[in-house]
Structure 1
Amino acid sequence: MSNIFEKNAEEIRVLSLFSGCGGMDFGVEAAGGHVIFSNDILADACKTLSKYFPDTDIRNADISGIQTFPTADIVVGGYPCQSFSMAGNRDPKKDERTNLYKQFLRVVSIVRPNYFVAENVSGLQQLSSGTFLKEQLEAYNNAGYNVTYQVLNAKDYGVPQSRKRLFIVGIKKELNQVFQFPKPTHGKSTKSTGELKPYASHGEAIKDLPLWPEGEFYERPHDPEGHFSWYYMSRNRKAKWADPAFTVVANWRHITLHPASPMMTLTWSNLTDGWKQRWDFSDQYEHLEANPERKKLDKPRRLSWRECALIQTFDSQFTPVGETESKFTQIGNAVPPKLAEVLFSHLFSGAGLVVVDKQIPLHLTRK
């Protein structure tokens, strides 16, 4: 028994499912792994993968139609999450995507890797009192894996974005190991947390990009309401310059505002009659109060896809394949590469592996 990451050769062979444009894959490679196989159903995502992972076997297909897979030390993937999302229809029983975890489980059962890492939205933990999450944990446990899970917020690990995601890590029971998640490195320092770095500023992350990148963000041409619908104006869409950004979403219409935009203020609210509010733009710029030298947008705009990529911690040269809307979809669906790197470094190095001398009861994994 040891806390060493058990691999079958010199390199760590990684099989990636539901790979998207490679957010998790970039993190895997930065942590020292080698992605040998990737899969996604979206053609543009697979073209992006081919662009940045030329030596990887990339399959643009429905995963259910793929029957054979290479041997691997670890299987990773973020199966589609819309049916569990707090922003989605939130009725998983009626959404076929709810059962995509079974395809992930099927591949794990075929490949029998020593480890697996699955990612989903944090809403999976809350829906139906956690029954959908419990179903998955039990399935992985019955397949022969010690499983632990935790909701991680990307901002706690140096990503300039507040983004909560649930990760499930499984380890083959015969290895007598269990995974403990990395502790936050960023946030407010307390006696219990120790010394932490301050949260990363999303304004600073994107400050060197063009202030008005024509064609790289969503606008509503020829619309009498202007560029922002009533729904968009029903909440505050502007995070402070010095703070992490709000979550980067996959729908370019709902992307939040550039931090150099004017502040939004609540102009009326009638929450007793549903969730009805109205926010409007003011003439205030909170980011200039701290530093008058910062850039300023006279007209508010949504973040560009290039800015979203930097906020997600993709490399500054990262350019996904496809039209502008497709770029937003790929970037918004991705796991932040920096968060993935932290997680996989913690696993590959053995720092997150704890030796156990007996089977872990399933209820102990539900933190």
Structure 2
Amino acid sequence: MKKSSEPKIKQAGPRVISLFSGCGGMDFGIKAAGGNIVFSNDILSDACKTLQKYFPETKVVCGDIAAVTEFPAADVVVGGYPCQSFSMAGNRDPRKDVRTNLYKQFLRVVELVQPNYFVAENVSGLKQLGAGSFLEEQENAYKRAGYEVTHHLLNARDFGVPQSRKRLFIVGVRKDLAKKFLFPSATHGKATKKSPHLLPYTSHGDAIKDLPLWPTGEFYERPHDPDKGFSWYFMSRNRKAKWDNPAFTVVANWRHITLHPASPTMKLTWSNLADGWKQRWDFTNEYDHQVEGQERPVLKEPRRLSWRECALIQTFPRNFEPVGDVDSKFTQIGNAVPPKLAEVIFRHLFSGAGLISSSPSRKR
């Protein structure tokens, strides 16, 4: 199949293949940016059902990507191949983890389809492990496949997402297009003389303030435990982000989801870790979020964020509800790319604003 050397994408919307799609965080962003998702895939049944629910026009193939051999023609291939082997919270031994080589399945599809562009997403740990050798290995493989490759570590909070979430993006542009991708600049942050245009970070408290204050059955709780599910270890990890700040990273394990910002503050009552003992943490009667606004709601009983609140913090549509039980909902939402961040990246790509010449300028 002959490929065009024209770097512009058709106005009708670029055809996109989405791999390791999860519940569609990247896909929501692609669609908002004008993309047409023609194929998506995930190995989890609930995630596939969620994709079918929200992307009825897309061909959704559920199962191991290694077993899929045929793909439609597409302008772009995207995917967030599983990141647990590179995660800062994982076992940190990628050489022994079979998921480390899942990028090769992504690469296989890129080589088969030969899209104009590809966008891969992973955790920040990919850049750090092995002094960068794992990232270098992947980039070299994409270059051998015929792509001009750039990567950048982005924090979702810098683009209006009410959450601090660092993710590494790798973007490839087919070499015959003579272009490379330049990542978009931050739109949010602390304004300075050098960057006076930056908007303030988005408040996660404001993002969820209109949701029910006690959504029974939508968050992790163990009311019959002595500590009610708030172990000393959970409490010791600073699990409460300030109302006006972006939330801490939304994770895929509902037991480790952070506290609602309307919860009371915490205090360390005693600690004896040196002698092999643990710690004791207690909730106070103080509410730091009301200092800036007395009208803000107050949780008399502290709780973790609900899955619905996590979805809004991730910037999914307000009516978004993934298929599955509560645990599955948290898994899908926590593993997703924030749709708003994805939209920024793909608008930058689809519009051509992020494409610059890859040819070195000649000196006269």
TM, length-normalised to structure 1: 0.93
Match of 2:202 in 1: 200
Give 1:211-250 correspondences, 5 Å limit.
211-250=213-252
Q: CA deviation at 1:192?
A: 2.6
SS at match of 2:232: coil
- CA deviation map 1:293-313 (0-9, x unaligned): 110001100000000000000
Match of 1:118 in 2: 120
Match of 1:158 in 2: 160
Match of 2:144 in 1: 142
Residue 106 of structure 1 aligns to which amino acid in structure 2?
Answer: R
Q: CA deviation at 1:162?
A: 0.3
Match of 1:130 in 2: 132
Distance 1:8 1:187, change over 3 A: closer
Residue 255 of structure 1 aligns to which amino acid in structure 2?
Answer: I
Match of 1:294 in 2: 296
Once residues 270 and 106 of structure 1 are traced to their aligned partners in structure 2, the CA distance between those partners, rounded to angstroms, is 53
Q: CA deviation at 1:347?
A: 0.6
- CA deviation map 1:47-105 (0-9, x unaligned): 00000000100011100000110010000000000010001111101111000000000
Report % sequence identity.
70
Instruction: Work out whether residues 6 and 114 of structure 1, in 8 Å CA contact, stay in contact via their aligned partners in 2.
Output: no
Instruction: Work out whether residues 46 and 60 of structure 1, in 8 Å CA contact, stay in contact via their aligned partners in 2.
Output: yes
Match of 2:22 in 1: 20
Match of 1:309 in 2: 311
Match of 1:101 in 2: 103
SS at match of 1:126: helix
Distance 1:183 1:43, change over 3 A: same
Instruction: Work out whether residues 236 and 279 of structure 1, in 8 Å CA contact, stay in contact via their aligned partners in 2.
Output: no
Q: CA deviation at 1:326?
A: 0.4
Q: CA deviation at 1:276?
A: 7.1
Instruction: Work out whether residues 146 and 171 of structure 1, in 8 Å CA contact, stay in contact via their aligned partners in 2.
Output: yes
Match of 2:320 in 1: 318
Instruction: Work out whether residues 176 and 358 of structure 1, in 8 Å CA contact, stay in contact via their aligned partners in 2.
Output: no
TM, length-normalised to structure 2: 0.94
Match of 1:184 in 2: 186
Give 1:76-95 correspondences, 5 Å limit.
76-95=78-97
SS at match of 1:326: helix
SS at match of 2:291: helix
Once residues 295 and 82 of structure 2 are traced to their aligned partners in structure 1, the CA distance between those partners, rounded to angstroms, is 42
Residue 265 of structure 1 aligns to which amino acid in structure 2?
Answer: K
Distance 1:177 1:269, change over 3 A: farther
Match of 1:42 in 2: 44
Instruction: Work out whether residues 264 and 286 of structure 2, in 8 Å CA contact, stay in contact via their aligned partners in 1.
Output: yes
Instruction: Work out whether residues 232 and 279 of structure 2, in 8 Å CA contact, stay in contact via their aligned partners in 1.
Output: no
Stretches of structure 2 that go unaligned for 5 or more consecutive residues are: none
SS at match of 1:93: helix
Once residues 191 and 132 of structure 1 are traced to their aligned partners in structure 2, the CA distance between those partners, rounded to angstroms, is 37
Instruction: Work out whether residues 158 and 186 of structure 1, in 8 Å CA contact, stay in contact via their aligned partners in 2.
Output: yes
Instruction: Work out whether residues 9 and 350 of structure 2, in 8 Å CA contact, stay in contact via their aligned partners in 1.
Output: no
SS at match of 2:168: strand
Once residues 119 and 148 of structure 2 are traced to their aligned partners in structure 1, the CA distance between those partners, rounded to angstroms, is 12
Distance 1:257 1:67, change over 3 A: same
Once residues 276 and 190 of structure 1 are traced to their aligned partners in structure 2, the CA distance between those partners, rounded to angstroms, is 43
Distance 1:273 1:162, change over 3 A: farther
